[in-house]
């Protein structure tokens, strides 16, 4: 793949370029479909992958970061702010894992504390009050398993965000750009449209955590098995109805060409936003509620469907 | 969201012990000494089982609250004869084809056999001291009370039913968290129920959440902490991350009361700890006060308008 890519960079003949580009895409597709689920998780965790602030830099103009939860602290694991997406002002919230070791430490590897969710909630309310579309980026292994996070009520902080996001009367789009892990991810992901990048994943628990619970001693092969049955790849999640659309990545993954990855993501975001343009604020809320009310329903063995009533 | 079932069992040998064995099977087996006596895991007092049961399964000496089965919970909460179960037939297949040491359908079948129900929650209508409520009770004996699609669906429909009928909601939680065997679908149930609660809140109908031992993971991070009031039973373990996970990651021994109801109360995270013998009357009083302001729309009102 690298060979084709470098050839592509050198070569200038246009018909040759087209041929090489096609070849690159095919090879990349083969490579991607051959990935074992756990390799996919590792790819999603690759620190070189573009993160929230990278996409903000490439897609959002005049971004102004908003800090703090006005209760306790500013959580660097979640970034939030306002800016222009094209010509539209939008609210942005996303996990930020960090690229360098020092940034990763400072940002707690993107694992939020309760104050992170509460900062996010402030942005959700701003978006709701001022009719701004809300765009969130999900990229976290999950909530911080720590004493302070428990003392300050991370369960309640996540729960409150789920309800709040469901109620927002403004367009909400989520893109899972890396690893979407458990409640720490979902607290940013109750959206009208949930996008996932080709090599990202989304799960109720990390494969490692799942294996540790199911098997007392969780060796790497158990983790591989669990990653397989958790069905956490983009294609699996689409089939389950958990995500709406898969956003393609450049050959080899988003980190190979962040600009191209951002272009692709930007195009899908624009299209998704445009689709919600004509919906009333109430309809936006109603359709989001209905979407989540239907999660998993196709798998219910249910004799009493006449009892069914969507909330509201 | 680690539904840390094993660690829950590990740090809490207390729990159900044998106190909650089905009286029917007990008689069939003939009464052995273990059936007549029960030892309190907190104070080690050995007492007559009958006496402890008469005391609502609370230790007569130290007040330790044993876990209750769904039937016991309904018996000590709802007015006699008032319980009408809804949606008992709702069940799940095997959406992921999940296999660990055993296939998920096998685990489900076992849990169904041993509990006699389809999944880890019962929902229905009842009266509490004469007051009509929509009531949900989680079953910790069914795969650790884990929340999969059925739990999410039944609770969301219970909230919708309450909205439609203008009823307050009471839910007793007991759960290790989201059900791993249903993958991301179980994660989505957290949002499903939270959204349904949002509608109820708009209609100004009260929802009281009662956190029982244990309520952790994805259940703690959704409907269990979204009550207009969040009550807990004494000593109930309530938290998001599993204790063992936190100990491993922080490399630090945690105090015994970590994530217990008293710990949460001290940190401002729950509204009150209510002893079992006072729970029924407390719920009735709180519901009476919350509905006395006349802001709830009753049977039609907003829910009808919203459609």
Series of mean pLDDT values for 10-residue runs along chain A (312 residues): 71 76 82 86 95 98 98 97 98 97 96 98 98 98 95 97 98 98 97 97 93 80 90 96 97 95 98 96 98 96 49 38
Q: Which of A111-125, B266-280, B281-295 has the lowest mean pLDDT?
A: B281-295
Q: What's the pLDDT band for B11 if we cut at 50, 70, 90?
A: very low
pLDDT over threshold 80, residue B25? no
The reply to whether B42 touches chain A by the CB within 8 Å rule is: no
Tokens standing for residue B150: 């059925």
Question: Which B residues in the span 143-182 are in contact with A, Cβ-Cβ below 8 Å?
Answer: 148-150, 152-153, 156-157, 159-161, 163-164, 178-180, 182
The reply to whether A163 touches chain B by the CB within 8 Å rule is: yes
Task: Find chain A residues with C-beta within 8 A of B267's C-beta.
Answer: 151-153
How far is the alpha carbon of A303 from chain B, nearest alpha carbon, in Å? 6
Tokens standing for residue A134: 């809300």
How does A208-223 read in b/e, with b if 16+ C-beta sit within 10 Å? bbbbbbbeeebeeebb
pLDDT over threshold 60, residue B16? no
The reply to whether A21 touches chain B by the CB within 8 Å rule is: no
Q: Are A132 and A83 in contact (CB under 8 A)?
A: no
Helix then strand then coil, % of chain B, to nearest 5: 40, 20, 40
pLDDT over threshold 60, residue B304? no
Q: What is the pLDDT of residue B92?
A: 96
How far is the alpha carbon of B173 from chain A, nearest alpha carbon, in Å? 14
Q: What's the pLDDT band for B33 if we cut at 50, 70, 90?
A: low
Q: Are A194 and A168 in contact (CB under 8 A)?
A: no
Q: Taking CB atoms and an 8 Å limit, are A155 and B238 in contact across chains? A: yes
The reply to whether B56 touches chain A by the CB within 8 Å rule is: no
The minimal CB distance from A299 to the residues B95, B156, B194 is found for B95
Q: What's the pLDDT band for B297 if we cut at 50, 70, 90?
A: low
Measured CA to CA, the distance from residue B255 to residue B248 in angstroms comes to 14
Q: What is the pLDDT of residue B32?
A: 63
The minimal CB distance from B246 to the residues A145, A203, A293 is found for A145
User: pLDDT for B81-115, tens place per residue?
Assistant: 999 999 999 999 999 999 988 999 999 999 999 99
How far is the alpha carbon of B26 from chain A, nearest alpha carbon, in Å? 31
Q: What is the pLDDT of residue A143?
A: 95
Q: Which of A28-32, A251-255, B162-166, B196-200 has the lowest mean pLDDT?
A: A28-32
Q: Taking CB atoms and an 8 Å limit, are B226 and A163 in contact across chains? A: yes
User: What CATH homologous superfamily does B67-292 map to?
Assistant: 2-enoyl-CoA Hydratase; Chain A, domain 1 (3.90.226.10)
> H-type helices in B63-103, by residue range?
70-77
Q: Taking CB atoms and an 8 Å limit, are A162 and B3 in contact across chains? A: no
Q: Taking CB atoms and an 8 Å limit, are A149 and B240 in contact across chains? A: yes
Domain spans of chain B, in order of start = 18-66, 67-292
The reply to whether A232 touches chain B by the CB within 8 Å rule is: yes
Q: What is the pLDDT of residue A30?
A: 81
Domains (ranges, CATH) in chain A? 35-307 (3.90.226.10)
The reply to whether B201 touches chain A by the CB within 8 Å rule is: yes
Look-up of token digits 């991070």: B221
Average pLDDT, chain B: 88
Q: What is the pLDDT of residue B296?
A: 65
For the range A61-67, what are the long-range contacts, defined as Cβ-Cβ under 8 Å and sequence gap of 24 or more? A61/A85, A63/A92, A66/A119, A66/A122, A66/A123, A67/A119
Coil, strand or helix at A14? helix
* B2 → chain A, closest CA residue: A205
Element (H, E) at B288: helix B276-291
ipTM: 0.92
Residue A9 CB burial class (10 angstroms; 0-12, 13-18, ≥19): exposed
Q: What is the pLDDT of residue B112?
A: 96
Q: Are A41 and A179 in contact (CB under 8 A)?
A: yes
Coil, strand or helix at B301? helix
Q: What is the DSSP letter of B99?
A: B
Q: What's the pLDDT band for B13 if we cut at 50, 70, 90?
A: very low
Report which of B301, B68, B28 is spatially closest to residue B166, judged by C-alpha positions.
Answer: B301
Q: Taking CB atoms and an 8 Å limit, are B191 and A159 in contact across chains? A: no
Q: Taking CB atoms and an 8 Å limit, are B198 and A166 in contact across chains? A: yes
Higher pLDDT, B15 or B37: B37
């Amino acid at each position: 793949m690298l060979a084709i890519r470098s050839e592509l960079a050198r070569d200038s003949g246009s018909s040759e370029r087209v041929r090489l580009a096609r070849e690159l895409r095919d090879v990349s597709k083969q490579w991607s479909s051959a990935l074992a689920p756990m390799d996919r998780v590792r790819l999603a965790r690759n620190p070189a992958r573009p993160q929230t602030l990278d996409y903000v830099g490439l897609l959002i103009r005049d971004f102004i970061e908003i800090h703090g939860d006005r209760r306790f602290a500013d959580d660097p694991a979640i970034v939030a702010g306002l800016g222009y997406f094209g010509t539209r002002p939008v609210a942005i919230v996303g996990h930020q894992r960090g690229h360098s070791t020092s940034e990763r430490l400072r940002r707690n590897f993107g694992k939020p504390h309760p104050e992170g969710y509460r900062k996010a909630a402030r942005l959700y309310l701003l978006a709701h009050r001022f009719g701004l579309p809300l765009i969130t980026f999900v990229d976290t292994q999950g909530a911080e398993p720590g004493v302070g996070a428990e003392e300050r009520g991370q369960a309640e902080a996540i729960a409150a965000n789920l309800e709040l996001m469901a109620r927002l009367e403004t367009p909400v789009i989520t893109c899972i750009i890396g690893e979407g892990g458990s409640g720490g991810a979902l607290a940013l992901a109750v959206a009208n449209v949930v996008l996932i990048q080709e090599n990202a994943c989304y799960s109720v628990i990390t494969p490692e955590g799942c294996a540790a619970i199911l098997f007392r001693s969780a060796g790497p092969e158990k983790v591989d098995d669990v990653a397989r049955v958790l069905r956490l790849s983009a294609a699996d999640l689409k089939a389950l109805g958990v995500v709406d659309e898969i956003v393609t990545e450049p050959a080899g993954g988003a980190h190979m060409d962040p600009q191209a990855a951002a272009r692709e993501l930007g195009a899908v975001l624009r299209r998704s936003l445009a689709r919600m343009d004509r919906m009333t604020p109430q309809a936006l809320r109603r359709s989001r509620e209905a979407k989540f009310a239907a999660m998993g329903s196709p798998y219910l063995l249910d004799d009493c469907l006449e009892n069914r009533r969507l909330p509201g | 969201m680690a539904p840390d079932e094993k660690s829950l069992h590990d740090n809490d040998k207390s729990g159900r012990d044998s106190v909650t064995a089905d009286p029917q099977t007990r008689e069939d087996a003939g009464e052995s000494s273990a059936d007549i006596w029960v030892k309190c895991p907190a104070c080690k007092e050995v007492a007559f089982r009958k006496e402890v049961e008469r005391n609502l399964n609370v230790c007569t000496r130290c007040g330790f609250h044993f876990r209750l089965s769904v039937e016991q919970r309904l018996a000590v909460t709802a007015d006699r004869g008032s319980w009408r179960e809804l949606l008992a037939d709702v069940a799940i297949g095997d959406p992921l084809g999940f296999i660990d040491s055993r296939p998920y359908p096998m685990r489900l079948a076992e849990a169904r056999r041993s509990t006699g129900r389809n999944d880890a929650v019962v929902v229905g209508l009842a009266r509490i001291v004469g007051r009509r409520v929509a009531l949900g009770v989680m079953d910790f004996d069914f795969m650790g009370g884990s929340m999969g699609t059925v739990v999410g669906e039944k609770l969301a429909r219970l909230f919708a039913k309450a909205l439609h009928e203008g009823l307050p909601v009471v839910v007793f939680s007991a759960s290790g968290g989201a059900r791993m065997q249903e993958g991301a679908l179980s994660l989505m149930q957290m949002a499903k129920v939270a959204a349904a609660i949002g509608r109820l809140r708009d209609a100004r109908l009260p929802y009281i959440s009662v956190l029982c031992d244990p309520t952790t993971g994805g259940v703690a991070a959704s409907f269990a902490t979204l009550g207009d009031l969040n009550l807990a039973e004494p000593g109930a373990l309530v938290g998001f991350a599993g204790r063992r996970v936190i100990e491993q990651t922080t490399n630090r021994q945690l105090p015994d009361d970590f994530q217990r109801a008293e710990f949460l109360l001290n940190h401002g995270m729950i509204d009150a700890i209510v002893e079992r013998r006072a729970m029924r009357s407390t719920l009735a009083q709180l519901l009476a006060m919350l509905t006395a302001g006349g802001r709830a729309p009753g049977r039609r009102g907003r829910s009808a308008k919203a459609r």
